Structure 1
């Protein structure tokens, strides 16, 4: 089968482990790890604070 769009779709466990980066939550100042490289000047929230800053889904 020809895979024209191999990068589309959800991540699979075959992609290997995700790389996590240490960060400090902009809200509560706790140390946390995030699955992306934090960008200077942009807030990073821990797992507990993130829901408070997400836009509500309708």
Structure 2
């Protein structure tokens, strides 16, 4: 099975390192970096606070 050199998702392959933006976490105030340009007026969270806030999936 050939994928045409585009990667498994057809997303175009490796694009190099992402630009990171310095932010201050809206929850704990810790400096962090995110791979997107923050939008003014919207909260931005560090990795730890984001992990604590995101919904937990799975169940018995």
What TM-score do you get using the length of structure 2 for normalisation?
Answer: 0.70
In structure 1, stretches of 5+ residues that fail to align are none
Matches within 5 A, 1:8-47: 9=9, 12=13, 14-47=14-47
Cα 1:25–1:17 shift into 2, 3 Å: same
Segments of 4+ moved more than 4 angstroms: none
Which structure: larger Rg?
A: 2
Deviation at 1:11, TM superposition (A): 7.1
In structure 2, stretches of 5+ residues that fail to align are none
What TM-score do you get using the length of structure 1 for normalisation?
Answer: 0.72
Cα 1:52–1:34 shift into 2, 3 Å: same
Task: Figure out how many residues of one structure are paired with residues of the other and give that number.
Answer: 53
RMSD: 2.5
Q: Distance in 1 between matches of 2:42 and 2:55?
A: 17
